[in-house]
Structure 1
Amino acid sequence: MARQVYVFRAKLKGWHGVRRTIAIRCEETLIDLHDALQAAFDWDSQHPFAFWLSGKFWARGGVEYVHPLALKSRPFSRGHAAIAGPRRRSAGRPMERLGLIEGQRIAYVFDFQSEWRVRLILREIAADDGGIYPRVLQSVGESPPQYIDYGQRHAA
């Protein structure tokens, strides 16, 4: 089977008109997609992130994909008792093993304190042209600064 490329449209929630189109090879991972999103939106990657293939932000059911180092933490816990939350898996899984289909929506959150939300839509699964991946195919709108105050963010 020929190598494939996944083409995603990434819309920054809360910032009208700010979106990117990103292509990533089938053997690359959600960590690679995270890194591509960081570069596309001019963010640094020193914060946790998560993906939900259900397309719902902070979904309690299904699976939450996180950086492998974050698998040991328990974000859905109060005190010493864990509360119901999603199953957690490593974001180091290759794209081709995620069972994605064209049109699928994926929720991505970066920096859990600032909570940058990106809605991803898998626009196309295409043949690999041999180029360098991941790569930004289109950039629309100016990225807001990564560190802004609450009032500035909601005035946008």
Structure 2
Amino acid sequence: MENNSADIIGMTDSLHFHPHLQSYFLYCKKTVINSQEFTRFFSEVEVLEFKMAIIKKYEVGFSQSFGRRLRLSALYSLESILNQIHYHDRPKNWIDATTCLWKPLLTEFNFPFLKKTFNKKRDKYRRSFRDTCEKWFKLYCRYAGGVYDVYLIP
């Protein structure tokens, strides 16, 4: 990731509220981590009760704050995904790629994550998920070398 021209790299981005990198996976270059702005941002973080408030204040806030002077980039940007697939179930600003587009992310883009929130909704996706599992497991074995026992996932 050091070869990426961006200063902060996320796995995915979102247009919900305001364009931002999703915070479940962020890679910040050393210059970012060593900056006073980075230290200040995280020293001012407070515990919030509601997930949407956390996303709006800290996830979106992080991208807005650092995006003013640094380059941000998503490895799997929503725009690039939507340009390659046909998905029209909801407006772009209401799409969470990791939940709404999990199947093409895993099968077409070799996305290396399945978020825990997906696991909570798996009954909704059970049939499609079962059909996709075999391909995902093969991808996992190819890229991760089978070092993690996927059967431990609840």
Normalised by the length of structure 2, the TM-score is 0.23
Q: Give the greater-gyration-radius structure (CA).
A: 2
Structure with more contact order per residue of length (Cα contacts < 8 Å, sep ≥ 6): 1
More strand by share: 1
TM-score by length of 1: 0.23
